[in-house]
Amino acid sequence: MKCQLECIGEIGEKNSRVSDRWQYLIRKKRWYWKLLSQRLRPAGGAAPVPQGDQPPIEAGDMVRVRSEADIRLTLDRQRKTRGCTFQKEMFNCCGQEYRVFKRVDRFYDEAKQKMCKCRGIYLLEGACCNGRTAYLRPCGRNCFYFWQSAWLEKV
C-alpha cells in the first residue's frame, strides 16, 4: 500500500495554459508592486522585538494575541518579524485569546521544496486562514497561521 504523499502528483488536475498564464501575470504584478512599495516606504526598520520576562509558551497554554498597535511596532517594512510574515487577515485575531496547539521547530516550505528550521513560532487552535486571499479562486486548505512569540502574551 502506498502513502498518499507518494501519489500526490496524481491527485491534482493540470492547469490550462490560460490559467497558468494568469497565475504568472498575477505573480509578476505582485512582485513589481512589492518592489515598488518597498522603495517608496520611508527608511527605518522595525522596533526591536521585546525580550521581556515572559514565561516560555508551551502547547496547551492560553495566550492573547497582542493589540494591532503593539504588533505593528515589531514589524519591518515587509510586515515581518524575524522572517515571519504577519498576514493582513491575522489582524482580525488581535486582542483575542487562543489555546496554543503546538510549537513549530521545523516546517516544509512548498515554494523552495525543503525543510526549514525556525524558532519562536506557534500554531493557535482556531486561528486559521480562511482562504479568501488565494490567487484566482478561494483556497480550501484552511492552513494554520504561524505566530511569532513577540505577537503573543501568555494569559
Whether 148 has a pLDDT exceeding 60, the answer reads: yes
Q: What is the pLDDT of residues 121-136, one digit of tens each?
A: 999 999 988 877 666 6
The DSSP letter of residue 96 is: -
Nine-digit cell at 129? 486562514
Count of alpha carbons within 13 angstroms of residue 78, beta-carbon side: 9
Q: What is the C-alpha to C-alpha distance for residues 119 and 108, in angstroms, rounded to an integer? A: 14
Domain ranges of the chain: 13-42, 56-155
Dihedral sign for Cα 45, 51, 55, 57, please.
Answer: positive
Q: What is the C-alpha to C-alpha distance for residues 149 and 103, in angstroms, rounded to an integer? A: 10
- In the structure, what pLDDT confidence band is assigned to residue 13 with cuts at 50, 70 and 90? low
Q: Provide, rounded to the nearest whole percent, the portion of the chain with pLDDT above 90.
A: 35
56-155 classified as CATH 2.60.40? no
Whether 2 has a pLDDT exceeding 80, the answer reads: no
At 129 the pLDDT is 85
Q: What is the C-alpha to C-alpha distance for residues 85 and 76, in angstroms, rounded to an integer? A: 9
Burial 11-30 (b: 16+ CB within 10 A, else e): eeeeeeeeeeeeeeeeeeee
Nine-digit cell at 104? 513549530
- Count of CB atoms situated within 10 Å of the CB of 46: 17
Tell the burial category of 94 from Cβ atoms under 10 Å away from its Cβ (0-12, 13-18, 19+).
Answer: middle
